[in-house]
Amino acid sequence: MFAEIITIGDEILIGQIVDTNSAWIAQQLNLQGIRVRQITTSPDDKAGIIQAIDEASRRAGIILITGGLGPTRDDVTRGSLCEYFGSQLVFDEKAYAAIEQIFSRRKLPMIEENRNQALVPDNCTPLYNTCGTATGMWFEKEEKVYISMPGVPFEMKVMMETDVIPRLLRKFSFPGIIHRTIQTTGIGESFLSRKISAIEDELPSWIKLAYLPAVGTVRLRFSAYGSDKSEMEKALDEISQKIHKTVGEYIFGEGEITLAESVGKLLLEKGKTISTAESCTGGYLSHLLTSVPGSSSYYTGSIISYAYDMKIEQLNVDPESMAAYGAVSEQTVVRMAEEVRKKLKTDYSISTSGIAGPGGGTPEKPVGTVWIAVSSADKTVARKFLFENNRERNIQRSAMAGFDMLRKMILSI
């Protein structure tokens, strides 16, 4: 049983936005053992949409469609589906109630365009949207399933997780697949691959390994295919143990955990607290920490000392030391980390100071030069990094490196 994904939107076809929805949907399907045969981006017109659906249905049994649902007149998906399935639009009380709830929560008046969003094709199962006003649709025809979801990523994701995936699992039985993801940081893909090559060579044919690199981390995903779940789990447990034995120091977690979540979990377990003093990361460490629900249990706050003077005035960095060594120096980040830890009364702290770019580089300290320190009551450790000439990635890599240094300090590795 193949699936296909159709994303609808002229904005994708003119390159204005990158289609991230289909990658996310493909990931979710893959986790359930559903293979995606093709991804298609179709224009916002009936002929194009109908042709894309028709072609996909010749190759696959599950067709997932996102985009082209909205209150404005550029909404053509619903009309195309009505034509394709010979539907009449009918007013749906529950869809209307769901839309009303969105508006009452937002304390906004509803207008006619929104009322129209409660009109659904009479031969589909409506998928009620708990986060937005576009109602999703589930059609069945000749043992094939066609699902239309909104294009707003957040709305689509909630609909997919809470409604579409459970319905698919009830309707079809997919081959058994179990994934085990091991998260590493502080080691590149090729080095990691070299270190675990003996384990990789010994994998049975029914277990596959994928390397999934992201900024500062590499996920190892082992996928076991089969019907005997307990045998599959046992084999994955054994592999996981071997991986831990071989590259344990680089492993920060299993499953879909972020490095910030993992650090938060560690702090929570130990009953410790954290603060940050950030220059080049400009609040990004703080943002990642506070993106985790419940982070107020261990995160106190931060001093984002972006300007030169602020490091002196808010973090007591010695002006003479700054003049001698520069804002991007071991001396500066050590002082920043120690000072913020004392000032905000936390057990640990992280500080950053670097040249994120594109401007500000010198021959001695080129763009990508970043100093990071982590501090506890016992000691302060500082490290210099040389990243690349890309502002966004330098900020991200600095944050990941800071978290990794903290993780190692907490675990004394």
Q: Taking CB under 8 A as the criterion, which residues in 353-412 touch its own copies?
A: 356-359, 368, 386, 388, 390-393, 395
CB nearer its own copies, residue 87 or residue 148: 148
Write down the least CB distance from residue 408 to its own copies, Å.
19
Give CA–CA dist 374/285, Å, rounded: 13
Interface with its own copies includes 101 (CB under 8 A)?
Answer: no
Interface with its own copies includes 186 (CB under 8 A)?
Answer: no
On the question of a cis peptide bond just before residue 358, with omega within 30 degrees of 0, the verdict is: yes
The answer to whether the CB of 277 falls within 8 A of the CB of 317 is no
Beta bridge pairs of residue 210: 221
Interface with its own copies (CB under 8 A), residue from 225, 283, 321, 330: 283
Interface with its own copies (CB under 8 A), residue from 24, 85, 128, 172: 24
Write down the least CB distance from residue 291 to its own copies, Å.
7
Interface with its own copies includes 202 (CB under 8 A)?
Answer: no
CA nearest 229: which of 237, 220, 239, 221?
237
What does the block give as tokens for 22? 């289909």
Interface with its own copies (CB under 8 A), residue from 190, 231, 324, 411: 190
In this structure, what are the phi and psi dihedrals at residue 124, rounded to the nearest 5 degrees? -125, 165
SS3 323: helix
In this structure, what are the phi and psi dihedrals at residue 256, rounded to the nearest 5 degrees? -90, 55
**What residues numbered 76-95 form the site for its own copies, per CB under 8 A?**
none
Interface with its own copies (CB under 8 A), residue from 38, 240, 246, 321: 38
CB nearer its own copies, residue 73 or residue 170: 73
CB nearer its own copies, residue 87 or residue 298: 298
Interface with its own copies includes 270 (CB under 8 A)?
Answer: no
Give CA–CA dist 280/398, Å, rounded: 8
CA atoms within 13 A of residue 178's CA, in its CB half-sphere: 15
Q: Which stretch binds its own copies (CB under 8 A): 36-44, 77-85, 257-265, 330-338?
A: 36-44
Q: Which stretch binds its own copies (CB under 8 A): 89-97, 137-145, 159-167, 307-315?
A: 307-315
Interface with its own copies (CB under 8 A), residue from 90, 97, 210, 324: 210
What does the block give as tokens for 120? 């659904």
In this structure, what are the phi and psi dihedrals at residue 182, rounded to the nearest 5 degrees? -115, 125
Q: What count of other Cβ atoms lies within 10 Å of the Cβ of residue 318?
A: 14
Write down the least CB distance from residue 352 to its own copies, Å.
11
SS (H, E, C) 341-353: HHHCCCCEEEEEE
Q: Which stretch binds its own copies (CB under 8 A): 15-23, 138-146, 168-176, 317-325?
A: 15-23
Interface with its own copies includes 98 (CB under 8 A)?
Answer: no
Interface with its own copies (CB under 8 A), residue from 289, 328, 334, 372: 289
The answer to whether the CB of 2 falls within 8 A of the CB of 59 is yes
**What residues numbered 227-246 form the site for its own copies, per CB under 8 A?**
none
Write down the least CB distance from residue 123 to its own copies, Å.
27
The answer to whether the CB of 295 falls within 8 A of the CB of 289 is yes
